[in-house]
Amino acid sequence: MDTPENGQLHRDAGRRPCRSAGWLARAAVSAAFLFGMAFSSTAFAQDQQLPVVTAAKPVVREIVEDDEFVGRFEAVDQVAIRSRVSGYLDKVSFQDGALVNKGDLLFTIDQRPYQAAYDATKSQVDVAKSLLEFSKMQLDRADELAKTGNISTATVDDRRREYLSAQAQMQGATAALTTASLNMEFTEIKAPLSGRIDRRLVSVGNLVQPDSTLLTTIVTRDPIDFYFDVDERLYFSYARDAKERGGSMQEGAGGLEVVVRVADRAEAVFKGKLDFAESRIDNATGTMRVRARFPNADGILQPGM
């Protein structure tokens, strides 16, 4: 009885080792495969070169936005030269188109009538001065006599009235002499500012009328202004930028840079600064006129460009 039971048990026990052997065999094969894979991967990794990695550092810099406009250069100052006195033009003392300095003599009006008027007025001043000195002496004498009672009060009053009249005559003669001196000075027409002068518009010998006859014009050269129009949208953008700079558009937007390129000349680049904007937007155009100022020491930039 014990033998079959043991045999079954052995059979059962015998079958189990077979199954275990198979699993071990499979495990051994799998282990060999994994080992082979691990060995192959290690060999491959040793043969392969490591990739070169380039590290890029971030760069922080300001981005500048450009807006393009069309505008014109204008002189900072321009003056029309006219005479303050009438007379015949006697002399022209400049070359057309030349550079002139403030105070340079440009035109001379015939001075003879004005010289004669000055001399006559000067003589009137001399007469008035003598009369004033005499009347003052008479008044002083009358005052001394009045202290001792040797002259009447009416006579003293007459002497004082004569003295006051002589003072008035002296003041009138002095004022007339000042006018004659100014008229004499105005016969020489001088440059009120430095810049480039235009051609003469009146020839020698012609009659010149005061404040009406245009003789020539002078425009300043350095610096020079550039005017252009900015629409409403860009105005708000520039106004915000100006506020951040601590300024305003009307005061130059804190020195906002303006670059001008001359048409058909890409290499001709000029840099200036915004320095003024009008105080309102034009209702008709929806734009605001602004101005930039450019250095122009060499005079290459001209009004009207």
Smallest CA-to-CA distance from 229 within 71, 67, 65 is with 71
Residues 92 and 35 in one domain: no
Last residue of a domain, one of 175, 199, 216: 216
pLDDT mean over 55-64: 68
Whether residue 61 lies inside any domain: the answer is no
Confidence (pTM): 0.70
d(CA 163, CA 64) in angstroms, rounded, equals 80
Q: Which residue has the higher pLDDT, 63 or 198?
A: 198
Whether residue 56 lies inside any domain: the answer is no
Partners of 88 in the beta sheet? 207
What spatial distance separates the first Cα and last Cα of the chain, rounded to whole Å?
130
Residues 250 and 281 in one domain: yes
Q: Is 164 helix (H, G, I), strand (E, B) or coil?
A: helix
Whether residue 302 lies inside any domain: the answer is no
Residues 180 and 107 in one domain: yes
pLDDT mean over 136-158: 88
d(CA 239, CA 246) in angstroms, rounded, equals 10
Residues 111 and 194 in one domain: yes
Q: Is the model's pLDDT at 96 over the cut of 70?
A: yes
Residues 211 and 242 in one domain: no
Question: What pLDDT was estimated at residue 49?
Answer: 63
d(CA 281, CA 294) in angstroms, rounded, equals 24
Residues 195 and 238 in one domain: no
Question: What pLDDT was estimated at residue 28?
Answer: 39
Residues 195 and 244 in one domain: no
Whether residue 59 lies inside any domain: the answer is no
Last residue of a domain, one of 216, 236, 267: 216
Q: Which residue has the higher pLDDT, 281 or 12?
A: 281
Residues 175 and 283 in one domain: no
At 162-206, the pLDDT tens digits run 999 999 999 999 999 999 999 999 999 999 999 999 999 999 999
Residues 137 and 259 in one domain: no
Q: What CATH number should be reported for the domain holding residue 113? A: 2.40.50.100
Residues 156 and 200 in one domain: yes
Residues 243 and 188 in one domain: no
CB 143 within 8 A of CB 163: no
Whether residue 122 lies inside any domain: the answer is yes
Last residue of a domain, one of 168, 189, 216: 216
d(CA 42, CA 31) in angstroms, rounded, equals 16
Q: How far is CA 238 from the centre of its chain?
A: 16
CB 275 within 8 A of CB 294: no
Whether residue 301 lies inside any domain: the answer is no
Question: What pLDDT was estimated at residue 21?
Answer: 34
Mean pLDDT (the chain, rounded):
81
d(CA 91, CA 83) in angstroms, rounded, equals 13
**What b/e string do you get for 236-248 counting C-beta neighbours within 10 Å, with b at 16 or more?**
eebbeebeeeebe
Whether residue 85 lies inside any domain: the answer is yes
d(CA 114, CA 184) in angstroms, rounded, equals 5
Q: Which residue has the higher pLDDT, 272 or 31?
A: 272
Domain count, the chain: 3
Domain limits for position 265: 220-294
Residues 28 and 110 in one domain: no
Whether residue 66 lies inside any domain: the answer is no
